[in-house]
Structure 1
Amino acid sequence: MSTNAEIAARLLRDAAEFFRHVGDQNAPIRPQMDHNARAFEAVADLVETDPTAEFETEGQDR
């Protein structure tokens, strides 16, 4: 059975792969799609390594 964090990380990695595929098929937006993919992969890494960690975000009080 998978944990919620494992499922979330897999979904984030799948989204990163989607962005890379979109960028591969559309050169003008490739840099933005690569940026998106790296961001999703970074969050997947965070979810996998420390799923309950917290961090401050500017302008958000949640």
Structure 2
Amino acid sequence: MFDDDIPGESEAEQSRRLAAASAVCIRCPVRGPCRTAAGELGHPVGVWAGRLTNPSRPVGRSRKELSA
């Protein structure tokens, strides 16, 4: 649920899954410590403390641009 990329998953499926993961995080009582842990790990990938992180995918570039 919280991983950033699942092979073969469509963008719509990924969007729904990551929205569901973020919804779980919103209600989580340890969001603060989770955010701290994500920062300490350096480059976590996936949903951490309700936010999507992916250091391998620069902000503003689509998947199509990255695969070209």
Alignment TM-score, normalising by the size of structure 1: 0.42
Q: Which has the higher helix share?
A: 1
Higher relative contact order, structure no. (Cα contacts within 8 Å, ≥ 6 residues apart)? 1
Name the one with the larger strand percent.
2
TM-score, normalised to structure 2's length? Answer: 0.39
